[in-house]
Amino acid sequence: MKKEINLILWVFLSLLLLNFQPRNAQGGESPFTSSTWSRGGLEVADSKKVMVLVDDLNEQAKKIGLQAGKIKTQCESRLKQAGLEASSYKPENLNINVNVIRYAFTIAVEFHRPVLFEVGEAWYKKRAVTWCTGVTGTHKGNPEYILQALDGLLDQFLKEYLEANLR
């Protein structure tokens, strides 16, 4: 008898939880349903266009001949090879940051986008990094080492971006 009551309670609670719909502060449905969770943060509405931003280079990067324009051109060329095109404006962007310190360098490749999050009953919108990768290495005074390392990171980004946006 006790097992039957426990089973009935379990079924009742399960049905109750299945019918529960989270709501936001204005009484509408929560934007976080099971079908809207991102696997990697790379999903976009217009996946054929990507905006590329390259951060300013520090003096040591410029000293070895590295140029932000060349980095941006390389990124846009890789987009084109993948069947994508560069965009002058999108709410999401691919951000490239390169720093050189003596004979070492770091590269950070990040995907920035607007995100929505909830705190209590309030919803907030903010730009955030939803995907990132990077590398540290040495350049021996040759900027081509840095550009080759960037190429590997772009391979990783393009693979994951294209997978996330297959339709």
Question: 12 in a domain, yes or no?
Answer: no
pTM: predicted TM-score of the whole model, two decimal places? 0.76
Question: 97 in a domain, yes or no?
Answer: yes
Mark out the alpha helices in 20-142 (DSSP H runs).
Answer: 59-63, 68-81
pLDDT tens per residue across span 59-95: 999 999 999 999 999 999 999 999 999 999 999 999 9
pLDDT tens per residue across span 1-57: 555 555 454 444 444 444 444 444 444 555 555 556 677 899 999 999 999 999 999
Find how far residue 54's CA is from the centre of its chain: 15
Mark out the alpha helices in 42-142 (DSSP H runs).
Answer: 59-63, 68-81
Mark out the alpha helices in 20-167 (DSSP H runs).
Answer: 59-63, 68-81, 143-164
Question: 22 in a domain, yes or no?
Answer: no
Question: 91 in a domain, yes or no?
Answer: yes
pLDDT tens per residue across span 6-20: 545 444 444 444 444
Question: 4 in a domain, yes or no?
Answer: no
Cβ contacts of 82 within 8 Å, gap of 6 or more: 158, 162
Question: 81 in a domain, yes or no?
Answer: yes
If one counts the domains in the chain, the total is 1
Q: Which range of residues forms the domain containing residue 139? A: 44-164
Question: 78 in a domain, yes or no?
Answer: yes
Question: 103 in a domain, yes or no?
Answer: yes
